[in-house]
Structures are given as C-alpha cells and as structure tokens.
Structure 1
Amino acid sequence: MTQSNAQLRIPAVYMRGGTSKGVFFHAEHLPQDRASRDKLLLRAAGSPDPYGKQIDGMGGATSSTSKVVVISRSARPDCDVDYLFGAVSIEAPVVDWTGNCGNLTAAVGPFAISEGLVQAPRDGWATVRIWQANIQKRIIAHVQMRDGEVMETGDFELDGVAFPAAEVRLEFLDPGGEDDDEGGAMFPTGNKLDALDVPGVGRVEATLINAGNPAIFVDAQALGLHGTELQRDINANAEVLRKAETIRAHAAVAMGLGTSAEEVTRNRPHTPKLAFFSPPASYAASNGKHVTDDQIDLVARIFSMGALHHAMTGTGAVGIAVAAAIPGTLVSRVLGGKSRAAICFGHPSGMLSVGAEAQQENGEWVVRKAVMSRTARRLMEGFVRVPTLSAPSDNRSAQA
C-alpha cells in the first residue's frame, strides 16, 4: 500500500465469482487494525452513499456487487489460504463480516493460484484448501488448469451469468453448525421446524438453520407470495420488504444472533438470510428463459441485504441442499415430506443443482459435505485508489 497525490494505492483484483463480484485484497496490503481496515474498505467500495449508487467507489450498488474479500496464506496445516469475506452496506457505514459469500468462494481458488499463494499442476484439476474465516469452516475448491494458468473460459453455463466459463467445483465440508459455532448447532433452537410469533406479521413456520450461513426458510405464503416472483415484483414492494425484514430480524434473535430485532437490522444486514419456497411451478426467469415445473423439485427465492437476490446466494444453495437432505425441515416438507441427497431448484435467473451428504449419528443429523459448481473470472487487476482523508468516522463492523 503506497500513497500518491493524497490517495492510497492498494494492489487489488476485481473478480466475478458465481453470480457475484467483488474486490479481492491480500491481507498484508490492508491495515491490521480492524477499524482502519473497515474505513478503507468502505471508502474503496464507495460507501456510505446516501444516493445508493456507490458512484465514487468500486461497489456496484447491489448486494451482489458491493463485496470485499481478504486473502492470506493459511497457518493451518489442513488449509492453503484463509478467506475473509465482507458484505459492504451501500448506504450505511457498515461492513458485515458475519457470514460467507458462497458465490465469491468460487473465485478464491483461482485468485490464490494466480497470485502465487498455492502451487498448482500445469494441466488438469488443481485443489485449493480454503479456510473460511467468517464461519470457521473448510471448503475445497477444484480449479481447472491449462498450460500453467487458471482456466477461466469454458462451456459451463450458470444461470444468472450471461456468459459460459470454466467450471469450478466446490465442496463445503461439515457445513452444518456445531455447538461452539455462532448461533449454536445446525438447528439452533433444537427444532427442524419452529412456529414464530412475529409482531406485525403473525405466526410464521420456519426452519432456522446454520449451514453455509445462518438462514431462515419459510413458505412463500408466509409473505403473501406465490414463490415465482422476480426482483421487479418484490424490490419495489415496501410492504413485502418490511415483512421480510421483520421475520428475518425476529428469527435471528430466536437463533441467538442478536439481543433484539432492532440490533439485527442495524448491525448484521448480511446474515442470517431469509429464503422462501413453494412447490414446483412454471415461470419465466429474468432473462426470459422458461423454467417448467417438470425440470425442478421446488422453487426458491432469497433476500440479501434487504432486497430479493437476482439469482441464489451460494451459501443459500448450501443451506437448501442441507435442509433438503434432512427430514422434517420446511424444505423437505415442500418436497412432499421426502428428503433428497440432490435436488434442482428454480430461482429468479433459472435453475441450480445442489447436493448434500447427510446421515444420522447418535440420533443427530450430521452433514459431511455439500457440493455445487460455479464459475469465476478475473475482471481487472491493478490498484484501487482510496482518498486518505475521506473515510467515514462512524463506521460499524459486524464481527471481523
């Protein structure tokens, strides 16, 4: 990190991972002090921006594009790199470090290889062992190599991304929560299905789950929705957004993730995520592609940072896979009361296939692995410029 003309000059890479993109940094190039680091990252993204556009920064003014990633070599013998993810609020001075981004996880392996942090074969599949520092979990990325470089172009199509690219295979190891994790066990209330009394909403049945990220799964009907809605149907509807945030915030308290709903809304907009489900139904995706009910096992939608996600978060997909594999969850109920080791679900941009390996041990459900495929691409590399005197002084950081 150097200074030029009253601006800091910080090495960075702008990458797409899955249906998200963000700015990737080496940890050694950022301040070690958390408050200073967060001020710098907020300013790099262009936040807080009362206009909601992040014009004066690298953020893209959506929950999918206002993200930062910090990578370093890992001191753990079972991992190659440590991966820390920050969800940067657009209008508030908050960097939320409470959860992972499953989509950007797909870019961590390619970044680590291209930046020389991990040795890889000249051709074939490289394996990158990732320590996800936000949620304290291991992830294995399988990255394709050709002629000594990461393959980025290919024919793998990911709904929600306009162009095909090279497949990146991800294995989320032991994705379910444990007793010593934040929020407790995989089912923090001890139930696979809870009935919550939500002020201003009423009684809501929900699965509260720690898998990939903390999440809340409800029926679409709980929000007065059909389940096949797109962003345009939801994000301009203030009443639906209010109801969704009210359910999310109160469920987070029930999960032990906050002392009050107000605190959750203020300090941890990134997690837990709220997703809603409905049985298979035909609909036109956001690009006009027709999804038919015989192609999918269920329909899923998820909120991210206060708005409906344009596709599906990666960690949301992990949570859905885990919940589908365990009987008694809301997801398995939508599946007709059955548990599935692999499913294909419809989301606003199309379809996604996921799977999870679950089994009972001593009467408790244990998930050893969740799997899915994504793509990733390096969009730009060089330096991010950050004014030295323009960082906000009242930023809040949700864990780090």
Structure 2
Amino acid sequence: MQAQYPSRCLHVLNRQPWPSPKVNASKLILHHASSSSRKQKRLPVSYYRGGTSRALIFHLKDLPLNRADWSSIFLNALGSPDPYSRQLDGLGGGISSLSKICIVGPSTHRDADVDYTFAAIGIKHADVDYSSNCGNMTSAIGPFAVDAGFVEVEREIRGVKTVRIHNTNTGKLIRSTFPVVDGEAEVYGGFSIDGVAGTAARIELAFLNPAGSKTGKLLPTGKVTDVIEGIRVTCIDAGNPCVFVQAEDVKVDGTILPDAIDAHPTLLSKLESIRCKASVGMGISEDEASTPGSIPKIAMVSKLKSHVLLSGEIMDGKSIDVVIRALSVGQPHRAVPVTVGLAVAAATNLEGSVVHNNVAKQRVDQDGLTIGHSSGKIMVGAEFDGDGNLRNATVFRTARRLMAGTVYYK
C-alpha cells in the first residue's frame, strides 16, 4: 500500500477588524505586525543539477525526526502548490524535472556508503511522492556525498571515486563513479549529455539488479504484453515501473515534441487513463484513484527515423536504435527519465514487447542501446545473464553543485 503523506498545512493570519477613522493607522500596522508576524524558518541545503533535472538536497540530520513534518518544508521551499504552475514563490522551476527533493544520510545498508531518498513534488497540487527514484538526480548523489563529507577523499590528489548508494525508494543499490580533485567532486570535463548545455565531468551510474524495483518482478502482470483500453502495452519494472505504448496506437507520430503533446486535445488524458489502469494491473495501487503521480511512468515508443528536436536540429534516424517520448508526473519530459531508459533497455530483450518490436536490428553501438528523445539521445548499457535477466544497467550523466547555503520557508 502506498504510504500517505499529509498535505501542506495552510496558515491563516488572524484577521483584525477594519479600523475606525479615529484609529492611528501606523499604530495599527505595528500592532498587526507584532501580533501575527513571525520570522521565516530555515534549513541548510544544497542545490544540484543532476543529469537533466535539478533538486534541493537535504542532509537527513537537518530535517525533523517526524517525517510527516517534511512535506510542508519541501512544498514551501519549492513554491508549491501553485495554481499558476510557475513556483515563483520558491526554488522550483514549474516543470516536473525541476520540482524535486533529495535526502541523503548515513547508510542503513551494509553494502552502501549513503542512503538516498527521492521525493517528487507536485506543482499545482500539494503532492509529495516518495514512490519512485529519479535516475537523473541519482547522478548528483555521489558528488554530494563527497562534497558534504559522507565519504572521504584525499585532498590534493586527482583520482576517481566510487560511491555506493542505497536508494530507499526502491531498495536498490547504485554505484556512482566519477573524478575527484582536491577533496571535491570534479565538475570540469569534456563529456556532454543532450538536454544540458556545455560539458562536464563524466559520471558513470551502474544500477545493480534493477528489475522489480517496486513490484518485485520484471513483468508485474506476468505477461509481456497486455491490452488496456484496446491498446497493446508492455508493463515492466526495471529502475522504475513503466508502461510502454506504441505511439501509432494512440494516433500520434512517435517523434511528437513536448509542446505538441501538451496541446493535443486528448492525448494526455488517454495516456493517464492507461497509466492508472496499468498501475492497478501491476499491483502498484488498489484502484485507479490511488495511483501515485510518479509511477508507473508511461512512454510512447516508435521506430527510428530522422526528425526535428527541441533545439531545431535534425536527429539522424541512423544514429539511434529506438524513439521514446516519456511523461513524468503528468507532463511531457523534455528528455527521458534515466529510469525509463533502464526499463527500455530491459524491454528490448523481451521478444514481442512493445519496445522490442520497435528497436533497430543492428545497434548503433554494440555496448548499449541508443535511445532518441526530444532533446537528443542517451545510451543505456545493459548486462543480461544467460537466462535473459537484466543484471546491471549503466548510464553516463553529468552533475554540478549550483549552490550550498540556507533555504527559507514559511
């Protein structure tokens, strides 16, 4: 059963009666301020970009012991809920990939260096969702662990560090390997990822045994394909639970861009309906109404072809193996969630799956699967055992510390 987290508490100011003409206005203002005003609350925090996402990262020790008290802090710090979907009164960015929280603390797992908990924060609504991991922000956790002193790195030595991460959302382990310099995570480098301008140090993320992250099974329904609302789908759990549909089956071109998905009169509601029904079938929720916002992810799949990207550049169809258009928390993702990439890699090995039927027979790179998304492409390396089970999945990302200091919230 999905854990329930309380909605943000709303504070209502004490209302004062409107003054009579004889009342001194300045005295009234001072009286009102002294009776109802208070200082903002504050906590230490770091702000990191991880892959194509950004998040506030809190140290576990700085948060209240009662986790029910976390929700109001996270929501207010990011500026949610916001009916305008802009999060102007907080540090969120108005889209799902910029409305995220990470919590890092000492590891409770014998084979890990740190525990990492992820929370997806609603934008319009007061939702704090702990049901899934964020693969992109996982790329920032190793560097944060070094920068914050969770793991020791010798100063004045350039080298490579591996941090073992225990993701509490899924119970899975991830190895993060990246360069370090002078006791900190290196940020300078020549590696680039589509969707992020510039270059940075390369971070290798190895997701160990990612299958069954939430349901305990690679195929939670017991089938390679199911039919939901007349649409053939593949429900798979690797990295995060995901639902894959053929783009043509929902009557859109698989290379559709995010703004066009948003503008489509029926597409988002159709995909959300399929996602909620799949959640029940996968055993994630008891009914459609209780489906978590962040899982299962849903993505449209299509065969490779040349097409226009968000940047206006042309993606050469011969440079990718498959085309994916993913949604995250009800919004079109402008790249692809890393955990969706892991699920795509797993599904390519399942003959007859929606993904398998769209993947090029001859791979662009024999070391992995090259996935085309709205901002470019990403390669996911996958290692299978002799029975076709996914043992490990590897992706390469970049991350950078943007700020460390104090966040203020009400």
- Asked whether the two chains share a fold, i.e. TM above 0.5, the reply is yes
Which position in structure 2 is the counterpart of 1:183?
215
Supply the distance in 2 between the matched residues of 1:195 and 1:338 (Cα, whole angstroms).
Answer: 29
User: Within 2, Cα distance between the matches of 1:380 and 1:97?
Assistant: 24
Distance 2:284 2:66 in 1: 25
Q: Which residue of 367, 374, 381 maps to 2:404?
A: 381
Q: CA RMSD in A?
A: 1.7
Q: Distance in 1 between matches of 2:68 and 2:180?
A: 38
Aligned partner of residue 268 in structure 2, secondary structure: helix
Report the alpha carbon displacement of residue 338 of structure 1 after superposing the two structures with TM: 8.8
Which of 229, 254, 257 aligns to 1:230? It is: 257
Whether the 8 Å contact between 1:99 and 1:270 is mirrored in structure 2 is yes
Task: Report the TM-score when normalising by structure 2.
Answer: 0.87
Q: Deviations over 1:251-302 (max 9, x none)?
A: 11110111222221xxx11111001111111012111222111111111110
Alignment partners' CA distance in 1, 2:265 and 2:88: 25
Secondary structure (helix, strand or coil) at the match of 1:294 reads: helix
Alpha-carbon separation, structure 1, partners of 2:121 and 2:251: 30
For residues 325 and 224 of structure 2, what CA distance do their matches in structure 1 show?
20
Give the distance between the partners of 1:288 and 1:350, measured in 2 at CA: 11
Report the CA distance between 1:336 and its aligned residue: 5.7
Q: 1:182 to 1:298 in 2, by over 3 A?
A: closer
Q: TM-score, normalised by structure 1?
A: 0.89
Deviations 1:344-387 (A, max 9, x none): 121000011112111244xxx42110001000001111000011
Cα distance between partner residues in 1 of 2:207 and 2:196: 22
Q: Which moved more, 1:350-359 or 1:83-92?
A: 350-359
Deviates more, 1:25-34 or 1:110-119: 25-34
5+ residue gaps in structure 1?
388-400
Partner of 1:150: 185
In 2 relative to 1, CA 290–336 (structure 1 residues): closer, same or farther, beyond 3 Å? closer
1:126 match: 161
Is 1:205–2:232 an aligned residue pair? yes
1:59 aligned residue (75, 92, 98) = 92
Q: 1:216 aligns with which of 243, 259, 281?
A: 243
3-state SS of 1:330 partner: coil
Measure the CA separation in 2 of the matches of 1:6 and 1:120: 38
Relative distance call for 1:338 and 1:254 in structure 2 (3 A) is: farther
- Cα distance in 1, alignment partners of residues 367 and 279 from structure 2: 27
- For residues 96 and 384 of structure 1, the distance between their equivalents in structure 2, rounded to whole angstroms, comes to 21
Say yes or no: does 1:167 pair with 2:199: no
Q: Does 1:329 align with 2:353?
A: yes
Structure showing greater radius of gyration is: 2
CA distance in 2, matches of 1:31, 1:303: 32
More relative contact order in 1 or in 2 (CA 8 Å, sep 6+)?
A: 1
Contact 1:322 1:355 in 2 (8 A): no
2:125 partner amino acid: A
Contact kept, 8 Å, 1:325 with 1:341, in 2: the verdict is no
Task: Name the counterpart of 2:269.
Answer: 242
Displacement over 6 Å in runs of 4+: 337-341
Classify the secondary structure of the residue corresponding to 1:235.
helix
Q: Deviations over 1:321-349 (max 9, x none)?
A: 11123333221111267998721121000
Structure 2: gaps spanning 5 or more residues: 1-36
1:251-262 aligned within 5 A: 251-262=278-289
User: 2:383 is aligned with what amino acid?
Assistant: E
Q: Secondary structure at the match of 2:76?
A: helix
Q: Secondary structure at the match of 1:232?
A: helix
CA contact (8 A) 1:28 1:72 kept: yes
- Can you list the C-alpha shifts for 1:161-199, whole angstroms capped at 9, x where unaligned? 01211110000000001xxx6324110111112222x2x
Letter in 2 for 1:356: A
